[in-house]
Chains A and B, each alone.
Chain A
Amino acid sequence: MTRARWGGTVHLVNDASNPSSASPKVTARGVSKRFDTTAGEVIALERFDLEVAQGEVVCIVGPSGCGKSTFLRILAGLDTASGGELTVRRDNPDKPENAVVFQEYAIFPWKTVRENVAFGLRMRGVPRAERDATAAHWIERVGLARFAGAYPAQLSGGMKQRVAIARALAYDADLLLMDEPLGALDAQTRLTLQEELLRLWSETGKTVVYVTHGLEEAVLLADRVVVMTAHPGRVKTILDVPLPRPRSIETTTTPEFAALTGELWHALRDEVARAQGYEVPA
């Protein structure tokens, strides 16, 4: 079953009949995105190719403005691609297709922490008692139990972001799309939540596409790291991270980890400099 969402050439495949883990969860082929602005045409993505296997964690890194958020939005069905083909296999028609953590938190200021976390469940028609229990569970796991009745205005930036994470996890979609979810957090909270995410993913086996600026974070979390070029946004290289799981913060002290981080920085350095307008000697 194929359906075009919001028109365009992007297709989302609702393929419950063929849950073979051989076919990838996400297949992006030549996805491109143009923005027509008054200042002219901005090419945010050009011929972007990516396959994400079921249960795989893929991190996307790249210079600021290279189109990471744009790709994630298209993947989430919140924006249309200008060209190419995007297929998302759906295994469980009862569960939502994806859950998103936005770069800008995007939690509702007029809802309490509890109502924000339960929002997706409420939209799915989950009965009140059940969604409150689920929300309480996730609020607890991101360490906000004391603030369940608070409004976002009473929370710090990092706490708001944890609400956004809890909201996405409570929604229980197969595909988790996270756009720099830990970007605004302090170092200690970030470490705690990185470990928490590793544990969650190993428990639930979710497929994750995770955008980050942190190279170490990418290596710690990912099975593969996608390095993007800027202007236009394309896949520059894809780095395999063969570190064994389960991983934890201790993983970051191993020499393999350091070697992989160095390799990643090497791949990214020129792109970052190019995006900033410098030329780098080879």
Chain B
Amino acid sequence: MSTVAPPRRRFTPFETWWAPLLLALTLSVAAWPLGLWPVAWWVILATDFVLLVAAMERLEPRLPLATRPVFRNALAIGFPIALLVSWELIVRAGILNPRWFPPPTSIAVALWELTVNYDRFNDTSLIGRPWLIPSVWASEGWSGVRALFAESHVYATLSRVFGGFFIGAIPGVLVGVVMGLNRTVRTMLDATMSAVYVLPKIAIFPILMLVFPDPFGEGPKVAVVAISAFFLVAINAMAGVQGIDPVLLQAGRAFGANRVAMLRHVILPGALPIIFSGLRLALGTSLIVIVAVEFIRAQTGVGFVIFYHWQVLMTDRMYAGLVVTMALGVGLTALLQWVERRVMPWRDS
């Protein structure tokens, strides 16, 4: 193989950073009269995205070094905003049906309305009108504040998620650790656990409704979350215990740790990273499960908000419910990460 001298560089428009953008624009517009959009919209969008990435990658090295972090942040925030803006424009141009894809601005308005309004028909509000707390506290005291909580969809969902999560996760950690430590227990439970683990827990909801005295109350809803969390946490806790470096177990024994000390100083901290990844999965799954349950059997909760407004064809409010669900998911994950940093300071750096 011989090396060839590189050709002399000279300016061509193809090498500018905006050339890919121009190409993307040309492609998207030219596809219009050719009738390609309805049949191959995904090809066009994917190509546009690749060209956009190419343009940004060409742009970055041309920027002054000091501005590059700003540029990265602008990309991280700018791209989602660009998506929302294009959504808005496409709907307003009449290309997408606003009935099924309401523009982001009307979703924002719907979110605002859901937040400030009290739904007289269902006796609920989205977040429980917390600005009323001072006046209600003055006139009615605790019972008034509790009534405000009771009308809140977000509170209903969160209490089911947290209630179920704790009721499931704590025994999950215990059973998982025992399975990790004791081979006989592991052998006996492993097949059952794996089988139940893959079962979509929503499928056992009807059974849970029969088990509880009030099938339409909170019992079955909390229980289905607890069961979902339990198996995820147990299986991860087991893996965490089994994954501990054997030499650390030997070190614990060599320096005189008895069974309790081994558990407290070696096994639990050693398994903690994996236990926490189980908790993170369980928390996410709890939210998924509860929203699904609220679709089918609830008068409160964000899942109910979504499904109810779908039934009455108020899709902007339905989307507002989706936004709230996303916010809850992000918030719960952030909360767990905060706890994780507290509990495992050694994993910081």
Q: B261–A123 contact, CB under 8 A? A: yes
Rounded to whole angstroms, the CA-CA distance of A124 and B256 in the bound complex is 7
Tell me, yes or no, whether A64 is within 8 Å of chain B by CB.
no
Interface size on B, residues (CB 8 A): 22
How many chain A residues touch B (Cβ–Cβ < 8 Å)?
Answer: 27
Residue of A nearest to B262 (CB): A123
Assess the B272–A123 pair: CB atoms within 8 A. Answer: no
B266–A123 contact, CB under 8 A?
Answer: no
- Tell whether, in the assembled complex, residue B269 and residue A110 are in contact, meaning their CB atoms are under 8 Å apart: yes
Q: Which residue of B lies closest to A152 (CB)?
A: B346
A96 with B248: CB separation less than 8 A: no
Bound Cα distance A119, B254 (Å): 11
A106 touches B247 (CB 8 A): yes
A107:B346 contact, CB within 8 angstroms:
no
> Is A151 a contact partner of B269 (Cβ separation < 8 A)?
no
Could you tell me the dominant secondary structure of chain B's interface residues? helix
A102 within 8 A of B: yes
Q: Is B338 an interface residue (CB 8 A)?
A: no
A131 to B349, CA, bound (A): 27
**What 0/1 readout, one digit per residue, does chain B (221-251) give for beta carbons within 8 Å of chain A?**
0000000000000000000000001011011
Does any Cβ of B come within 8 Å of A210's Cβ?
Answer: no
Most-contacted residue by chain A among B272, B345, B346 (CB, 10 A): B346
Query: Is A167 an interface position by the 8 A CB rule?
Result: yes
Q: Is the CB of B255 within 8 A of A171?
A: yes
The answer to whether A119 and B346 touch across the interface, beta carbons within 8 angstroms, is: no
Whether B247 contacts A123 by the Cβ 8 Å rule is no
Among B247, B250, B255, B272, which residue has its beta carbon within 8 angstroms of that of A110?
Answer: B272
Closest beta carbon of chain B to A211's beta carbon, Å: 15
For residue B305, give the distance in angstroms from its CB to the closest CB of chain A: 42
Check B265 for interface membership: any CB of A closer than 8 A: yes
Q: Assuming the A-B contacts A102-B250, A108-B251, are A153 and B346 also in contact, with contact meaning beta carbons closer than 8 angstroms in the complex?
A: yes
For the complex, what is the distance from the CA of A102 to the CA of B269, rounded to whole Å? Answer: 20
Known: A102-B251, A123-B261. A109 touches B346 (CB 8 A): yes
Chain B residues with CB under 8 Å of A120's CB are: 255-256
Judge if A165 is at the interface, Cβ distance under 8 Å: no
CB distance from A20 to the nearest CB of B (A): 27
A123-B256 contact in complex given A108-B266, A108-B269, C-beta closer than 8 Å:
yes
Residue positions of A touching B, CB distance < 8 A: 73, 76-78, 96, 98-100, 102, 104, 106-112, 119-120, 123-124, 151-154, 167, 171
Q: A108-B269, A120-B255 are in contact. List 6 more A-B contacts (CB 8 A).
A: A98-B254, A100-B255, A110-B270, A119-B265, A123-B255, A123-B256
